[in-house]
Amino acid sequence: MNEKKYIEEISNGTITDDILTTTIRCLIKNYVIEGKSKNEIVCLVEEYLSSRLKQKYKSKKWESYITKTVGSVFKQKKSYEKEEKEFQLNEIDCIKVSFSELEKIKLIENISAEKIAFVLLVCGRINQQLSKDNKIGTYCNREFFKDCGLSFSNANRNLINHLKQLGYAQPSSNNQSSFVEILIADIEYGDNEGIVVDDFRDFVLIYEKWIGEKIGKCGCGGLIKLTSGNKRMCNICWKEHRKGKNREKALRYYNKNKH
């Protein structure tokens, strides 16, 4: 994700992402880089949420998450400084996945495991660019499985071991760590470019489209999985659509009963 552009969207009020945890973490990281104190950052984030959510904002609901995230980002900054790396906003616009990498993933012949391998590769490349590390991998936590379009179930988590048995992935030797390295990444692209991930909203659908699944586009540009129903909007736009319909329904009810 291009965090620099994301911060600009937040500042301009043009942000469309409804995943507030992503917004909060990005804001906190920006404030840490600006040199603000922990208390200042907590107050600024609370002000932002209050302004954005208005009456729906419940401080007790977010208090713990904000405080923990502030602490986490400060620790992250400290670890960067320890390794003499610059702690800055990410400016990654796209990630390339080669045709040969896609073919290797397709050979798994298990759609859930294929999606895990694809997201591992994309997120691993992002982490590699950010940390300048040789390893291509990421932490397979709840957010990771959400990116895969899968639940955080034991069955899905066990698919990591399936990828290990195939020689596709290597989990961390530390049992307390969820870090998994992907082992099928090409060293060089050459003319072997398969697809480019330049929109990270539900990006696993890019792979599903490549293997022939019916994937369409929402009016906002985001990808959607086409089903037998009539849904032609992404989840974010669908929520806004439903809100609008509910407001219209409430207004009609009010006008009908006000006399």
The candidate with the shortest Cα–Cα distance to 148, out of 187, 105, 107, is 105
- Please answer whether residues 209 and 223 qualify as being in contact, where contact means their C-beta atoms are separated by less than 8 angstroms: yes
The reported pLDDT for the residue numbered 16 is 62
Per the domain annotation, does 227 fall within a domain? yes
The candidate with the shortest Cα–Cα distance to 33, out of 94, 99, 81, is 81
Does residue 235 register a pLDDT over 80?
A: no
Instruction: Check whether residue 206 and residue 250 sit in a common domain.
Output: no
Band (237; pLDDT cuts 50, 70, 90):
confident
pTM given for the model: 0.70
Instruction: Check whether residue 58 and residue 133 sit in a common domain.
Output: no
When pLDDT is averaged across residues 219-230 and rounded to a whole number, the result is 76
Per the domain annotation, does 134 fall within a domain? yes
Instruction: Check whether residue 185 and residue 228 sit in a common domain.
Output: no
For a pLDDT cut of 70, what percent of the chain falls above it? 92
Band (9; pLDDT cuts 50, 70, 90):
confident
Which of 53, 82, 111 terminates a domain? The answer is 82
Instruction: Check whether residue 167 and residue 65 sit in a common domain.
Output: no
Does residue 17 register a pLDDT over 70?
A: no
| Domain extent for 42 | 3-82
When pLDDT is averaged across residues 5-17 and rounded to a whole number, the result is 80
Per the domain annotation, does 56 fall within a domain? yes
Per the domain annotation, does 239 fall within a domain? yes
Backbone angles phi, psi at 59, to 5 degrees: -60, -40
Instruction: Check whether residue 191 and residue 136 sit in a common domain.
Output: yes
Per the domain annotation, does 89 fall within a domain? no
- Please answer whether residues 17 and 30 qualify as being in contact, where contact means their C-beta atoms are separated by less than 8 angstroms: no
| Residue bearing the bigger pLDDT, 59 or 100 | 100
Instruction: Check whether residue 123 and residue 58 sit in a common domain.
Output: no
What pLDDT digit, counting tens, does each position of 109-149 carry?
999 999 999 999 999 998 888 776 778 999 898 889 989 99
Q: Would you give the DSSP letter of residue 116? A: H
- What is the tally of structural domains in the chain? 3
When pLDDT is averaged across residues 43-70 and rounded to a whole number, the result is 89
Instruction: Check whether residue 195 and residue 133 sit in a common domain.
Output: yes
Measured in residues, the chain has a length of 259
When pLDDT is averaged across residues 89-116 and rounded to a whole number, the result is 93
DSSP SS3 for 96: strand
Cα–Cα distance measured from residue 59 to residue 238, given in angstroms and rounded to the nearest whole number: 27
DSSP SS3 for 244: helix
Does residue 92 register a pLDDT over 80?
A: yes
93: how many CB neighbours lie within 10 A of its CB? 11
Which of 82, 108, 123 terminates a domain? The answer is 82
Instruction: Check whether residue 157 and residue 253 sit in a common domain.
Output: no
- Please answer whether residues 92 and 6 qualify as being in contact, where contact means their C-beta atoms are separated by less than 8 angstroms: no
What pLDDT digit, counting tens, does each position of 183-213 carry?
999 877 555 678 999 888 889 999 999 999 9
Instruction: Check whether residue 132 and residue 195 sit in a common domain.
Output: yes
| Residue bearing the bigger pLDDT, 85 or 116 | 116
30: how many CB neighbours lie within 10 A of its CB? 21
For the chain, give the mean pLDDT. 86
The reported pLDDT for the residue numbered 192 is 65
Instruction: Check whether residue 16 and residue 110 sit in a common domain.
Output: no
Instruction: Check whether residue 52 and residue 147 sit in a common domain.
Output: no
Q: How far apart are the first and last CA of the chain?
A: 52
DSSP SS3 for 197: strand
Amino acid in position 229: G
Cα–Cα distance measured from residue 249 to residue 251, given in angstroms and rounded to the nearest whole number: 5
The reported pLDDT for the residue numbered 165 is 96
DSSP SS3 for 59: helix
What pLDDT digit, counting tens, does each position of 168-184 carry?
999 988 877 889 999 99
DSSP SS3 for 149: coil
Per the domain annotation, does 117 fall within a domain? yes
Instruction: Check whether residue 165 and residue 243 sit in a common domain.
Output: no
